[in-house]
Amino acid sequence: MLYPKDTQTREVKDLSGIWRFKVDRHNTGRADMWHMQPLQDTIPMPVPASYNDMTQDASIRDHIGDVWYETFFRIPRSWSGDRIMLRVGSACHHAVVWVNGRQAAEHKGGFLPFEADISEAVEYGMENRVTIVVNNVLTWQTLPPGRIKTFDDAKHPEGYRIQEYFHDFYNYAGLHRPVKVYRTPAAHIRDVTVTTDVQDGTGLVTYRTEASEAGAAVRVRLVDEEGRMVASGTGAQGTLRVENARLWKPLQAYLYTLHVELVGDDGETADHYMLDIGIRTVRVEGSRFLINGEPFYFKGFGKHEDSDIKGKGLDYAVNVKDFNLLKWIGANSFRTSHYPYAEEILDLADREGIVVIGEVPAVGFTFFNYNDKVYTPDQANDETLAHHLDVLNDMIARDKNHPSIVMWSVANEAATFQEEAVPYFRKVAETARVLDATRPLTLVQWALPDKCQVAQFFDVVCVNRYYSWYADPGCLDLVEHQVEWELSGWHRNFNKPVIMSEYGADAIAGFHQDPPVMFTEEYQCEMLQRYHNVFDRLDYVIGEHVWAFADFATKQGTTRINGNKKGVFTRQRQPKAAAHMLRRRWEQMAVTPKWSGR
């Protein structure tokens, strides 16, 4: 799905701003057709943003069900005759959209965009009303999954409900990414797919375009960062050759711009789209992850889209700060734990040369007990799998052209030790490979190496493990023994490169004790250091992603003290002691890479 852009033939209106908002206290608004007229008794609500932390009203924060958004926009008369699209960047988790009371779109899944052709629904030159109902309920047929708990006892008032979910990050909801209206010509470019290869210094840029009309004439040109055209071609698909190509490299990004034009019968440009691309290769070979043929060691974090007040709302300032912190600390990568991030973040990663592992929102597919079944007819069932495949498809369709993304993660900590996981993840892996044959695949493991039944379907083993925290709390002296025992098990059983994709300890900024105890900054440092001692000894360990980049909001519970404090930075992006420790380590690794002998 193409990101909306202003080009020679296209124009975008961003509807970000203050919308009208109303909580549907009894979830009756759909039946009462609230979309048929302007909403009554609304409060102001920013878009994009999560609504949860925006007011002082806990009943808004904790509401289970529908909330309503509404705004007004004008389409100039000059847009008449064009194709007018409405695009929602992300609505967590289900949404129905009406324009002037007429249904335009319905979508399930909170972390990916959807759009609708509203050419017939809008009035040109006049004011148009868009109404969006957003629902935050998680079930076993959504990603991530959840369930509504009801009570049948005298301690709870009748009808009392709780939204349960099996991941820790807070279930923020609302319109998290911009809503845009844009126009394209009626005959338009529908999609562009680019893959790249390098042969003896020559970059090969293979492109495939899809147009609204089959057989439409297409011309393309590739322009470098200085604005020079380095290759051109014609035809709906083809391969451009770039002599002495500047490669997209980790922390040394170089982007070319591919201009795609649909050519009308008169030879004029009927539609024009521009895509930034990077020329690079990615391959797993033996126990190495190769980017442009060079072994790459992942240094970085699992992150979240999460910040004060806005929750999961897109925030350019926070995003730029985060990339500056990544560079400051010497990181070269992150995982989009545990859902596809905003396209605007991936654009920054492309530009800054930060390597990304893109993840689908399949998190919470385990009960942390080997015997509690996850894949049952009323939990992770065929409908869940079908949705999982849809989301995978939509994520790859949206993100396939980002050079920063080098691998897909199809799930986080799924119960891969249950035999029902085998057909489930075989299907997921097969589908991912059909959708994208160019990028390696992983599934982030919680199972132990002797129990996992699906790692053979994937190219890289990613493992999350919290030795001396959830297991043997306080026993720092066990960490090295246990990490080495586990990682060597993965290597022995599957013979694939291994990334420690999560390891870490909660540290409350300002808590100190030496010798270290849990929740202090000293403990966080000491634990990370002991993991690192093992990583440095094991040749097949190809990366370390600390959990987590920054502290983040979680659901309430006895193991969380106003959020998850495993951040190396606070939620306000201030460094804890561990950040300085990591910075020293990662800067040193830049000087002396792990496999410097190669």
Which residues form the interface with ligand BDP (CB under 6 A)? 167-168, 338, 412-413, 464, 502, 547, 564, 566
- The torsion angles phi and psi of 58, rounded to 5 degrees, stand at -65, -25
Is the torsion defined by CA of 583, 586, 589, 594 positive or negative?
positive
Give the whole-angstrom CA distance, residue 429 versus residue 422: 10
502 is catalytic: yes
Q: How far is the CB of 73 from ligand BDP (least distance, A)?
A: 37
- Per the CB < 8 A criterion, the answer to whether 513 and 520 are in contact is yes
Q: Would you say 21 and 42 are in contact if contact means Cβ atoms under 8 Å apart?
A: yes
For 154, half-sphere exposure in the C-beta direction (CA atoms, 13 angstrom radius) is 0
Smallest separation, CB 457 to ligand BDP (Å): 20
Q: At 423, is the secondary structure helix, strand, or coil?
A: helix
Q: Which has the closest alpha carbon to 10: 181, 143, 150, 124?
A: 181
Catalytic residue among 261, 305, 502, 526: 502
Nearest distance, CB of residue 438 and ligand BDP, angstroms = 27
Taking the least distance from each CB to ligand BDP, the nearer of 176 and 565 is: 565
Judged by CB, which is closer to ligand BDP: 69, or 466?
466
Three-class DSSP labels, 103-147 = EEEEEECCCCCEEEECCCCCCECCEEEEEEEEECCCCCCCCCCEE
Compute the CA torsion angle 524, 525, 529, 530 (nearest 10 deg).
Answer: -40
Which of the residues 115, 413, 486, 521 is marked catalytic?
Answer: 413
Nearer to ligand BDP by Cβ, of 299 and 338: the residue is: 338
CA distance 320 to 588: 25
Which of 496/566 has CB closer to ligand BDP? 566
Closer to ligand BDP by CB, 256 or 458: give it: 458
Shortest CA distance to 178 belongs to which of 303, 310, 309? 310
Closest residue to ligand BDP in the complex (CB): 168
Tell the smallest beta-carbon distance from residue 523 to ligand BDP (Å): 14
Q: Which residues of 436-466 are buried (b: 16+ CB within 10 A; e: fewer)?
A: beebbbbbbbbbbbeebbbbebbbbbbbbbb
Active site residue 430: no
The residue (of 559 and 596) whose beta carbon lies closer to ligand BDP is 559
CB of 337 to ligand BDP, least distance (A): 6
SS3 content of the chain, % helix, strand, coil (to 5): 20, 35, 45
Q: How far is the CB of 467 from ligand BDP (least distance, A)?
A: 13
CA angle 528, 577, 464 (to 5 degrees): 30
For the annotated catalytic residues, the residue numbers are 413, 502
